[in-house]
Amino acid sequence: MKSLPPEDPLDPLLDRWSQLPDPSPRLAAEVWQRLATGRQRAPVERGIWATFGTWLERPVFAACFVAACAALGILLAEARLGRVERERNAQLARNYLEMIDPLVNHGEPSEIRS
């Protein structure tokens, strides 16, 4: 003969569960709305930096990022060189004029015409 299992403390609670109220008529609509909102929010909550960090975890992307940084550094150096070159040319032209025209050096530029 089988002995009866000991009474579980959850049993009265489960007995009460059978007396659940009727669900709201808008339950399905609310569930779908929550799902839709969750889907929309997910990428925003992740954030740009978090996404970028995840991408940086990939070796290929990391190598590309470092290479892009090097290329950007060279590009900026080239732009800076262009500016320096223009300033240098202007200075050299002034120096040349001072060298060939003694009056320019002393604030009395002479008009040189062909």
Helices in the chain by DSSP H: which ranges? 11-17, 27-46, 48-56, 59-100
Count of residues touching other proteins (by CB under 8 A):
45
Interface with other proteins in residues 80-109 (CB under 8 A): 80-81, 84-86, 88-90, 92-93, 95-97, 99-103, 105-106, 108-109
Contact 90, 96 (CB under 8 A): no
Distance (Å, whole) CA 102 – CA 82: 31
- Give the footprint of other proteins on this chain (CB under 8 A): 52-54, 56-57, 62, 65-66, 68-74, 76-78, 80-81, 84-86, 88-90, 92-93, 95-97, 99-103, 105-106, 108-114
